[in-house]
Structure 1
Amino acid sequence: MIQSSHHHRPNRLLVTGANGFIGSRVLDRLAAECCEAVGAVRQGAMKHPGWTKWMHGPDLGPDADWEPLLTGTDVVIHTAARVHMMQEDSNTAGEAHRLVNTQGTLALARQAAAAGVRRFIFISTIKVMGEQSRRPFRAGDTPAPSDAYARSKLDAEQGLEAIGHESGMEWVIIRPPLVYGPGVGGNFATLVKWLARGIPLPLGAIDNRRSLVARDNLVDLIATCVDHPAAANRTFMVSDGEDLSTTALIRRLSEAMEIRPWLIPVPARALLRVGRLLGQGPLLERLCGDLQVDIEDTKSRLGWHPRIDVDTGLRQALMEPR
């Protein structure tokens, strides 16, 4: 495909999952910056009070009809997904992830191509590469997903590439690691709660390396990929550009909270043993293992650099979401 040598600003964008943690911020940024940005939210979902343009999209599945939202759209940014749930039955989870993350994404992509959408940006996950890295993951490495959520995202990536190849619609895939920012949930929110309560944590001796990405850095990369000619038909890794051990993350987070953490130096091996006995093996493996990404290709190809550093990102993450 011939790429234009200049940035082609889109007239109209569609952001799915527009009331989500990432989608809401993408919509705010692009609506303020460039063009008509339409947010699609699920039937019955609350709309963001600041939005001028939003629509109830169909529920994300294989039979969804996106045509009314796609007419006249240049770029789709697909952030909507069924996220990984910790305590669910793996068989039903696998089917639910496949329906939403794979079939739902590909139904949207096929309809986007048919409607003449120029570029489709898909927010995937670093989990398609695996749960742990021996060396920092690069975009060209062989994926090794280890759960139903990650497999559903990888299948969507591969299907999207095929649709792009057949139709000429450009695709961009972004694989973020843990995304944090104001209003973040999950393990990050739990950690903040524990630190605020002064709970002793046996995480004072973990010498691993993990990549994270502040939400504003991820959103900045997404905005760059909207019209950058070198982004077409590429997969990108993203992070803050500084990898931290779990122990260092807790120390830096505590500094941002202006408290002193109660860290007990328990060797990682002992932690893992106890974790497995208590049925918390996967969580402890994440806390003790390495998961690094290499963003050099993203930086050199797009001329992109993380906008904010880790400490700024952590301070922002402690603010109330607006």
Structure 2
Amino acid sequence: MRVLVTGANGFVGSALIRRLAAQTEVPPVAAVRRFSCVGPDAFYSGVGDGAVQWMELGDMAVAEIPSGLLDGVDVVVHCAARVHVMKERDTDPLAAFRAVNLAGTLNLARSAVRAGAKRFVFLSSVKVHGESTSLGRPFTADTALRPADPYAVSKMEAERALRELAAETGLELVIVRPPLVYGPGVKANFLNMMRWLSKGVPLPLGDLDNRRSLVALDNLVDLLMVCLNHPDAVGQAFLISDGEDLSTTELGDVLGKPARLIPVPPVLLQSAGALFGKRAVVDRVCGSLQVDITQTTSLLGWRPPVPVDSALESTAAAFKAGLPRKTIA
């Protein structure tokens, strides 16, 4: 089975490529937009020569994928996407997200069908269901789709377009909707949180009583491996998590030392967020977002192989290893 992974230089894609190279007989295809974006780092350290085949796909959103480039590929795992932009500069964010996450995804899937690929695994997002849940009432596989921002809208639209294509062509479609993914090398909000905690900065999070589902990178990659060929995965959309929800205050201990958390009522945090134009950020910190993975475990016989404590420890260890000694003393 020949597997092509897009976004192969990204956080999830590179981890999946490493796993495929180690466990499959046929070298996986590591697809990137252009070779120049890979950079000089050998982020496939430990992978032997010839264990990975590189491929340059170009900009899937604006150009046809060259004829024959996907020939021989059995399964496409589409991890590439336009993700959240911390400081959005595009005047029409929704159009920018649609260009990559909708048009680019559909272009890739059509090319895969023409090349004879049998299965398309699409990495979507739990955000297609919404931004938050009521405490104790998690999203399930049957929860209605209510995306609240341009990124999530583009992911929902891509899911629907792929379902239509699958119905027309017989392509085996599998959708995976992860929440926040963390692990060694994580960036964005999780990295920012670890930076603040490492500095011992007091954070006004001591009064929070919320629950959030997360997924360790190794657990997500493990599920993606199952989705490559499991017969019961076809036509399904799977939620995934570590199987244990955490509060924001519990995450404060991620670096293995007591966090300096000051009790501040969530309503005051939300008011301050609205005042300074950071309401969405505060809502993510204060609110709950839980997922129920019952359908995933029952249909696929899958369980998260890495316990959440171990995953958080390895994430924190990798972060601390990259800090100056005086910062983590």
Instruction: Answer yes or no: same fold by TM over 0.5.
Output: yes
Tell me whether 1:45 sits opposite 2:33 in the alignment: no
Partner in structure 1 of residue 236 of structure 2 = 234
Distance 1:138 1:90 in 2: 33
**Alignment partner of 2:69: what SS?**
helix
Indicate the SS of the match to 2:68: helix
Matched position secondary structure for 1:55: strand
Structure-2 separation of matches of 1:29 and 1:185: 21
AA of the residue aligned to 1:189: L
Is the 8 Å Cα contact of residues 90 and 148 (structure 1) preserved in structure 2?
no
Contact 1:94/1:148, CA 8 A, preserved across alignment: yes
Q: CA deviation at 1:66?
A: 4.9
Specify the SS of the correspondent of 1:24: helix
Q: Distance in 2 between matches of 1:69 and 1:206?
A: 51
**1:166-205, aligned counterparts within 5 Å?**
166-205=168-207
Q: Tell me, yes or no, if structure 1 residue 32 matches structure 2 residue 22.
A: yes
Alpha-carbon deviation of 1:258? 2.8
Alpha carbons 2:7, 2:79 under 8 Å: kept:
yes
4+ long deviations beyond 4 Å: none
Whole-Å separation in 1 of the counterparts to 2:318 and 2:32: 22
Deviates more, 1:120-129 or 1:60-69: 60-69
Equivalent AA in structure 2 for residue 161 of structure 1: R
**Mean alpha-carbon deviation: is it higher for 46-55 or for 27-36?**
46-55
Secondary structure of the 2:92 match is: helix
Deviation at residue 90 of structure 1 after TM alignment: 6.5
Q: 1:258 to 1:249 in 2, by over 3 A?
A: closer
Residues 64-106 of structure 1: CA deviation (Å, up to 9, x unaligned): 3154331011000000000011321574221111100000000
1:79 maps to a residue whose letter is C
Which moves more between the two structures, 84-93 or 218-227?
84-93
For residues 291-314 of structure 1, the C-alpha deviation after alignment (integer angstroms, 9 at most, x for no partner) is: 111000000000000011111111
- Displacement of 1:245 in angstroms is 1.2
Partner of 1:243: 245
What is the DSSP-based 3-state SS (H/G/I as helix, E as strand, rest coil) of the residue aligned with 2:122?
strand
Aligned positions of 1:1-322 closer than 5 A: 11-34=1-24, 35-43=26-34, 44-46=36-38, 48-49=43-44, 50=47, 52-89=52-89, 91-134=91-134, 135-251=137-253, 253=254, 257-320=255-318
Q: Distance in 1 between matches of 2:120 and 2:299?
A: 18
Report SS of the residue matched to 1:213. strand
Shift of 1:315: 1.2
Please state whether the residue corresponding to 2:174 is helix, strand or coil: strand
Superposed CA deviations along residues 100-119 of structure 1, whole A, max 9, x for unmatched, are 00000000011111211110
Q: State how far apart, in whole Å, the 2-side matches of 1:32 and 1:67 are.
A: 29
Identify unmatched segments of 5+ residues in structure 2: 323-329
Percent identity, aligned pairs only? Answer: 49
AA in 2 matched with 1:42: R
Contact 1:14/1:69, CA 8 A, preserved across alignment? no
8 Å CA contact 1:64–1:104 kept in 2: the answer is: no
- State how far apart, in whole Å, the 1-side matches of 2:17 and 2:139 are: 29
Which amino acid in 2 is paired with 1:41? V
Structure 1, gaps ≥5 residues long: 1-10
Structure 2: distance between partners of 1:66 and 1:209: 46
- Relative to structure 1, is the Cα distance of residues 186 and 123 closer, same or farther in structure 2, using a 3 angstrom cutoff? same
Which deviates more, 211-220 or 266-275? 266-275
Counterpart code for 1:283: V
Relative to the length of structure 2, the TM-score reads 0.90
Q: Write the deviation string for residues 25-68 of structure 1: whole angstroms up to 9, x where unpaired.
A: 01110121123310001212226454631112212314231543
Query: 1:149-182 CA deviation, whole Å, 9 max, x = no partner?
Result: 1011110000011111100010000000000011
> Please, which moves more after superposition, 74-83 or 89-98?
89-98
Conserved 8 A contact 1:41-1:55: yes
Aligned-residue offset at 1:17: 0.3
Structure 2 counterpart of 1:45, one-letter code: C
